Structure 1
């Protein structure tokens, strides 16, 4: 809190009321609004205070008297103190032109010389009552006389005159002897005024004598007049006046008769002129009605009824009856104009008011009861409702016929131009947004009493009119926009149908559905401002939700159609770092999904004013989103399947055929992938398998996260169904690839084994593998390298079934051998064990059992010497085939 204000200086320090005082001090306020109080000598002077700075305030004194403090009060510092005082006094008014800030009581000034009231008292003409000269007597008393004599005054004209004050002020330096002489002078002057009437007459003798002479002259004149005319002086005058009247009557009798006739004629003309308004009223109301100035007709008719409604004069009654007839005709014309459409609500309101006023003024009369309007305002509302329904129907027929004619001609419409359905939606929404508010406002004026007639209002009927109009609007829009809805049901219930066009025309219309939604929303926003009943707003709100859902479906269907063509963008370029073999195709789908969600969010998903949420739990919108997403992803699965099975005529078959039998080996074609830009069927199949695996494990759940990011509920059902579908596609593609790769490879084992009439019961040179075992391993290495180049993650899913078929084929071939020679048994053991050891990492339990069956089929079984020899040969063969062993020993490729 700031320090208290302190007043340390004044200028001036005394003065009468209204004196301008400059107050100086410290802490007198930080700003003008901080100053809340100023008292000078106990009087509140805040209204005249002018804050200059924190050290200076200017104010004017009040009507106080005497010495007092100057107290300043501020908001920041509170009530202050003063180290100086101001002396306030009231001035003596010395003349009529002297300004004064307070009211001064006037008292009669006495002239001591004559004892009369002075006409113009002035301090300048006042003489010293002691008869002493005050020249040279300039010595003043050092003290303030107001402090010594607070209730006295030194002015001779005041009631509070004090001799002491007078002497101290005017004769402070006069000697005592002179004062005694002045007292003697004053006594003589007073004694001279006490001599009485005699002295007064002596001083005014001339005036008294003049007055006596005047009185004597008046008496002589009266006596002489009596002698000449007698005591009855007015009789002669009266007789003369009577004679004058008689003579004047004789002279002006004819003149007076003519004057009476002129006066009566003038009176009639005056009456005609005075009541000209009534006589001209029949023609006037007709002219005003033809000009549309019905308010003037109402005012004139009301004025005539007030002035002449109760008259008994036949002429006036006849004119009023004629005016009533004219007004009845005007009322009929007004009623016809009220129900005539189209017209603005202001014009209709003006006509209704004029019609009601005229009917009220004619109520109670015989002619007024003959023709009465039931309720003109309600008739106007009903006419506007019927016109709105007629306008809806006419607009619908106009555009539907136009669209039908255009389809019959078969002309190609410019896709950039809006179809007839869109133009119809725009126009009918404009009609509803302009006419429905006017109809509602007219109804409000009716129910508030401004346009109500003598009958009771009908709120139920008006509510049904509003609901019917909105239902009609939604029905027409539903027929035009929702082309995929149950049109047969709508046709049966409403009798409305839009001509069914070609698929191309329908396809051209679908992108414009969002525009139709915008038109409907604009109309809905205009109706919300009218404070309509909730039932009316619910009708259009539900319809808007239907359009939004339809728009959502259309956008997703268009996106699904685009997704079905994503295969055209496939370049077989790998673009996912964590999933080798995955192409850019899933990223194209993700871009399409994000683009679709953005379009849906902008067009129809974000709710506007008083619109519902399409994604309520277990709602149609949520089910629609799940269904469309599932279609989206299944369409993508179809794209992958199409890309996997499509073939090119220029491709060379790349089956793994045995070189021993004279067919090309897979290594030649595998190298072709790197030296040529042509992508083989096997490589495409591997990429599609990688895409399926990526979709199942990562991409489809990521799509669900995208939907959640955009505010949609997690479409779990759609994601799981799509994952199941893509997993099933992966299985089918895998079986096709394994069959394509495994069957030729397994089919070459038996021919290669018995090439050159080889038999297992013949003795043979041992020490290395048989050619069929080398070829089998080499073929599997070729398959391995092809898979590893594209997607190493597919090695186990593909190689396991191929190895299983190889092991099964070896078990079958070994079981078919009747007898093995000593060296043949060792060679078969080495071959089978080597193949088993090479493919051990990709052999499942079933395959291992097949390898065991193959070894057990060697008959007779190997003895210890044979096993030792077989182990030596196997170890030597593994050293020679260490590259193949290293290739198949990679546990996490």
Structure 2
């Protein structure tokens, strides 16, 4: 369906003042009355006065606009229309004879500028003040002149008279010379008017004398009449007085009874007419009992307006009684205002009622019986006091129950401790009553509850801050006192009673829930739009609780890490890059990540108007860094415990070499068989030491750096110095474990060298031949291979760290023994050279400078060989290397 826009084509009338009734004609002006949704005449909305007649006709009244403008019709079906005609609106001057909706001053109009008044208050109709003929002159159109001279007029009687308008309207075609002649005529006429009064008296002197004679005659006639009529008037007055006295004597009784009846009738009429006033004392009391204080205020104000200035004694007496009743109502209202608990709206209603009654009785003597008070301020103090008392009551209810809890074994873990219940109730009270106190104060300072006294913004601010500090102090004493630090008590609130460690342990898991209660109350107070100074107090408390909660999470992680030694299964292959490392670091990382996520969700993520907890300038970062340092230290202690905790179970002795107690099967790969428990029982202490060493190396080289990355990604910007301290602890532990392992392996190995060297009463000066190794050299090589295989089976990365000090000890013992030999035979020197050179050569890769010096010292203790002897030694060593190529290969691997 095509939309047809409205078009205005006709208008009647086309001009007029505001309120002119006009008929608008056109096309598509709406299908029905509801279709017409807009009508604008000269940019003025006239829809309210529009009356729809047909799609071609609308009747309306113009608005208050001025000037020419279009008539725009808007319909639902066609939209905004257009106009081909315009309406001119003007503001006309209202005269005394013009119909008008307002009163028009009817005083004679000042029609001429030179002081002459017209005979009647009609418009001045002088033909032409210039004395020029206007016959044949074509007048200028009025609407064109209004456009040229806005806000002006061509009427001589108007204040906004414009000479230009007048000349264009009446002398549009008059020549300039004629206008100059007219100006000369106007000046002569004005000059003649200045001497008009004196010439008037000269021309009418006879008439003036006749008027004076008539006035003299009227005065004489009046004096004669007063002389003739004075005596009869006195007689008439006397007769009237005598008749009055006589009539009074005749009708005294009748008149008395009539007067009494009239008095009673007047009294009854007064009682009936002013029943409202006489019933007012009782009605105000009844309305006050029904809590209808608005009725009391209205009735009292009405009585004061009607009878406040009356001099009638009975009315004054009733009003005084009403005033006394109102004084009593004021006292009752003041008591109810200070009576808590009650809603803010109810309190505001009572304050407004009391303030209104105080203002109505302001200045009365009876009102001085009540001391001047500020009802709104008393309401604020009462609400603040009630909040403080409520917090104290909640504290008294829950604090004594702290030490009366059942033991942990006899209580349900889902039952919240008294501290948690206390925090929940305190936060609920603060979230409900602090906004009420703030809204009541805002109503007081914005003037809604303003009374006769001046407001006290500084005192109110102190009240709000004190209430917030009290609320925070209660929470601080309840929550943060569990940390063991007693310096959280500010002295303004009672301290939370000292409790046992078991009670504290029961409360620790609920700290995050207490933090949630405080945050909910904080969000409620933020929506109230409290000042930043007040909200910062709660924000500081929240940061302290967040930090304490995060600290407890780390403490819980530390406690779990302490138990990792019981979960160690000694299963290898958990870390591909570090053979020998067990699953212990992974379990440690799982505990750390689990608690990092818990701390991130519960504490680190800032909610509305909260700051970051671990900023560089915050006190939380050093605290959490210390907790992280404790966490790493605890993990090192777990490794140390596992390393130096020997097995209690006695294992069957395995096959050993000839003289020293090393397992012959030490070079076998240790892998779990059966369940973890049985596997843990068959792992030897030596293997545990090696696994702990591998774990320490893994922590030092990679794991602690990886842990630092994990903490940083989870929002914990812990300093690298913390992990450097952890690495230092690990290095110390590595040194301790290596020393223990080397001592454990070196003592029996070195102790067997001398007995094996002199077994069978061997003497170096009685050697018959030197064609192979002596048994002590074989045993040294075999035992070192056994240690090598045991270390290699666990972690090849530990070979150099452990073998070097063991080989150094062996070399030192060999040097000592050979240095003590008194004499060598030729074959003995050959044999000693073969033994020492073989051990020196195959152990060269794992010999440090000290060990090499000891081997050199041992060779120096042996006599020098001849060329034949040197060749013999080289031949025998080649044969031995071939026979013991496995030993040689074992110690020749550069990076096993």
Q: 1:824 aligns with which of 828, 846, 851?
A: 828
Alpha-carbon separation, structure 2, partners of 1:852 and 1:405: 78
Q: Helix, strand or coil for the counterpart of 1:540?
A: helix
> Does 1:720 pair with 2:724?
yes
Residue 666 (structure 1) aligns with:
663
Q: 1:467 aligns with which of 465, 468, 487?
A: 465
Retained in 2: the 8 A contact 1:308–1:316? yes
Retained in 2: the 8 A contact 1:396–1:424? yes
Alpha-carbon separation, structure 2, partners of 1:854 and 1:61: 128
- Residues 835 and 522 (structure 1), Cα distance of their counterparts in 2 relative to 1, 3 Å cut: same
Retained in 2: the 8 A contact 1:657–1:745? no
Residue 185 (structure 1) aligns with:
none
> Does 1:434 pair with 2:438?
no
Q: Helix, strand or coil for the counterpart of 1:310?
A: coil
Alpha-carbon separation, structure 2, partners of 1:656 and 1:436: 82
> Does 1:807 pair with 2:811?
yes
> Does 1:570 pair with 2:573?
no
Q: Helix, strand or coil for the counterpart of 2:664?
A: helix
Q: Helix, strand or coil for the counterpart of 1:493?
A: coil
Alpha-carbon distance, 1:362 to partner = 0.8
Retained in 2: the 8 A contact 1:18–1:62? no
Residue 630 (structure 2) aligns with:
631
Alpha-carbon separation, structure 2, partners of 1:416 and 1:722: 38
- Residues 684 and 323 (structure 1), Cα distance of their counterparts in 2 relative to 1, 3 Å cut: same
Retained in 1: the 8 A contact 2:384–2:463? yes
Residue 425 (structure 1) aligns with:
423
Residue 501 (structure 2) aligns with:
503
- Residues 278 and 572 (structure 1), Cα distance of their counterparts in 2 relative to 1, 3 Å cut: same
Residue 80 (structure 1) aligns with:
none
Retained in 1: the 8 A contact 2:73–2:80? no
Alpha-carbon distance, 1:664 to partner = 5.3
Alpha-carbon distance, 1:62 to partner = 6.0
Alpha-carbon separation, structure 1, partners of 2:82 and 2:612: 72
Retained in 2: the 8 A contact 1:20–1:58? no
Alpha-carbon separation, structure 2, partners of 1:410 and 1:742: 52
Alpha-carbon separation, structure 1, partners of 2:75 and 2:425: 69
- Written as runs of structure 1 = structure 2, the 5 A alignment for 1:79-478 is 269-406=268-405, 412-478=410-476
- Written as runs of structure 1 = structure 2, the 5 A alignment for 1:740-779 is 740-779=744-783
Alpha-carbon distance, 1:671 to partner = 4.4
Alpha-carbon distance, 1:342 to partner = 1.3
- Residues 675 and 348 (structure 1), Cα distance of their counterparts in 2 relative to 1, 3 Å cut: closer
Q: 1:697 aligns with which of 689, 701, 726?
A: 701
Q: Helix, strand or coil for the counterpart of 1:667?
A: coil
My pick for the range that moved more, 697-706 or 711-720, is 711-720
Alpha-carbon distance, 1:515 to partner = 1.0
Q: 1:838 aligns with which of 825, 838, 842?
A: 842
Q: Helix, strand or coil for the counterpart of 2:764?
A: coil
Alpha-carbon separation, structure 1, partners of 2:408 and 2:742: 54
Q: 1:872 aligns with which of 868, 872, 875?
A: 875
Retained in 1: the 8 A contact 2:482–2:504? no
Alpha-carbon distance, 1:490 to partner = 5.5
Retained in 1: the 8 A contact 2:473–2:490? no
Alpha-carbon separation, structure 1, partners of 2:865 and 2:262: 169
- Written as runs of structure 1 = structure 2, the 5 A alignment for 1:530-541 is 530-541=528-539
Residue 863 (structure 1) aligns with:
866
Residue 529 (structure 1) aligns with:
527
TM-score, with structure 2 as normaliser: 0.70
My pick for the range that moved more, 261-270 or 811-820, is 261-270
Give the CA RMSD over aligned residues. Answer: 3.1
Q: Helix, strand or coil for the counterpart of 1:855?
A: helix
Residue 595 (structure 1) aligns with:
594
Q: Helix, strand or coil for the counterpart of 1:613?
A: coil
Alpha-carbon distance, 1:532 to partner = 2.4
Higher Rg: 1
Alignment deviations for residues 829-863 of structure 1 (CA, whole Å, 9 cap, x no partner): 1111111111111011111111111111113x111
Alpha-carbon separation, structure 1, partners of 2:85 and 2:621: 86
Alignment deviations for residues 65-114 of structure 1 (CA, whole Å, 9 cap, x no partner): xxxxxxxxxxxxxxxxxxxxxxxxxxxxxxxxxxxxxxxxxxxxxxxxxx
- Residues 797 and 411 (structure 1), Cα distance of their counterparts in 2 relative to 1, 3 Å cut: closer
Alpha-carbon distance, 1:360 to partner = 0.6
Residue 685 (structure 2) aligns with:
681
Contiguous gaps of at least 5 residues in structure 1: 1-15, 22-42, 65-256
Alpha-carbon distance, 1:49 to partner = 9.5
Alpha-carbon separation, structure 2, partners of 1:58 and 1:623: 72
Contiguous gaps of at least 5 residues in structure 2: 1-23, 30-68, 87-255, 674-678
> Does 1:883 pair with 2:886?
yes
Residue 137 (structure 1) aligns with:
none
Retained in 1: the 8 A contact 2:72–2:83? no
Alpha-carbon separation, structure 1, partners of 2:441 and 2:83: 67
Retained in 2: the 8 A contact 1:746–1:805? yes
Q: Helix, strand or coil for the counterpart of 2:766?
A: coil
Residue 741 (structure 2) aligns with:
737
Retained in 2: the 8 A contact 1:666–1:779? no
TM-score, with structure 1 as normaliser: 0.70
Residue 788 (structure 1) aligns with:
792
- Residues 326 and 838 (structure 1), Cα distance of their counterparts in 2 relative to 1, 3 Å cut: same
Residue 603 (structure 2) aligns with:
604
Q: Helix, strand or coil for the counterpart of 2:575?
A: coil
Alpha-carbon separation, structure 1, partners of 2:601 and 2:753: 63
- Residues 594 and 368 (structure 1), Cα distance of their counterparts in 2 relative to 1, 3 Å cut: same
- Residues 549 and 672 (structure 1), Cα distance of their counterparts in 2 relative to 1, 3 Å cut: closer
Residue 854 (structure 1) aligns with:
858
Residue 580 (structure 2) aligns with:
581
Alpha-carbon distance, 1:402 to partner = 2.3
How many corresponding residue pairs? 661
My pick for the range that moved more, 499-508 or 327-336, is 499-508
Alpha-carbon separation, structure 1, partners of 2:474 and 2:688: 52
Alignment deviations for residues 644-681 of structure 1 (CA, whole Å, 9 cap, x no partner): 1122233448799650x4x6553145549569631111
Retained in 1: the 8 A contact 2:656–2:664? no
Alpha-carbon separation, structure 2, partners of 1:19 and 1:428: 74
Alpha-carbon distance, 1:422 to partner = 0.5
Retained in 2: the 8 A contact 1:19–1:60? no
- Residues 711 and 654 (structure 1), Cα distance of their counterparts in 2 relative to 1, 3 Å cut: farther
Retained in 1: the 8 A contact 2:753–2:780? yes
Alpha-carbon separation, structure 2, partners of 1:675 and 1:487: 48
Retained in 2: the 8 A contact 1:572–1:687? yes
Alpha-carbon distance, 1:265 to partner = 7.3
Residue 96 (structure 1) aligns with:
none
- Residues 453 and 679 (structure 1), Cα distance of their counterparts in 2 relative to 1, 3 Å cut: same
Residue 206 (structure 1) aligns with:
none
Alpha-carbon distance, 1:259 to partner = 12
Q: Helix, strand or coil for the counterpart of 2:823?
A: coil
Residue 646 (structure 2) aligns with:
647
- Residues 447 and 639 (structure 1), Cα distance of their counterparts in 2 relative to 1, 3 Å cut: same
Q: 1:797 aligns with which of 790, 794, 801?
A: 801
Alignment deviations for residues 348-368 of structure 1 (CA, whole Å, 9 cap, x no partner): 111111111001101122212
Retained in 1: the 8 A contact 2:687–2:794? yes
Q: Helix, strand or coil for the counterpart of 1:608?
A: coil
Alpha-carbon distance, 1:307 to partner = 1.1
Alpha-carbon separation, structure 1, partners of 2:76 and 2:278: 70
Residue 612 (structure 2) aligns with:
613
Alpha-carbon separation, structure 1, partners of 2:276 and 2:404: 63
Retained in 1: the 8 A contact 2:670–2:794? no
Q: Helix, strand or coil for the counterpart of 2:491?
A: helix
Alpha-carbon separation, structure 1, partners of 2:404 and 2:567: 41
- Residues 19 and 725 (structure 1), Cα distance of their counterparts in 2 relative to 1, 3 Å cut: closer
